[in-house]
């Protein structure tokens, strides 16, 4: 089974801190994605990457950046954390071109910014 591992299940950070969320997948997937999930809003795409060192903005990239130095690892960076970035963050990966299973998701990181 493909595994997508997010380094932390719960994080509490202070306003203004630089925050790193790490995601690793073990099946040589091309694509990796970062979403945030908020009640009533569903999953919203922050950034995605279709290859090493390649990145594309999603629907809500403001306040975030990403890094993909190796194929298996995709990091989400909150440059200066703010309380409105308190959310559940979900990492996912997928294989190109076969999309018959869509994404494989990690377990999520619940981030609280105080």
Among 48, 75, 111, 113, binds another protein (CB under 8 A): 48
Among 45, 63, 67, 73, binds another protein (CB under 8 A): 45
Interface with another protein includes 64 (CB under 8 A)? no
3-state secondary structure 24-55: EECCCCCEEEEEEEECCCEEEEEEEECCCCCC
Closest to 29 (Cα-Cα) out of 89, 102, 90, 88? 102
Interface with another protein includes 1 (CB under 8 A)? no
Residue 44 · residue 64 · CB < 8 Å: no
Beta carbon nearer to another protein, 29 or 113: 29
Binding characters for another protein, 9-38, by CB under 8 A (x = yes): ----------------------x-x-x---
């Amino acid at each position: 089974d493909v595994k997508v591992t997010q380094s932390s299940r719960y994080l509490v950070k202070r306003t203004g801190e630089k925050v790193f969320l790490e995601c690793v997948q073990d099946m040589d997937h091309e694509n990796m994605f970062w979403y945030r999930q908020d009640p009533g809003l569903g999953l919203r795409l922050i950034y995605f990457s279709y290859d090493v060192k390649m990145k594309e903005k999603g629907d809500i990239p403001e306040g975030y950046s990403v890094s993909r130095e190796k194929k298996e690892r995709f990091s989400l960076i909150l440059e200066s954390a703010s309380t409105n970035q308190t959310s559940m963050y979900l990492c996912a990966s997928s294989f190109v071109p076969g999309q018959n299973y869509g994404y494989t998701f990690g377990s999520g990181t619940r981030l609280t910014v105080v």
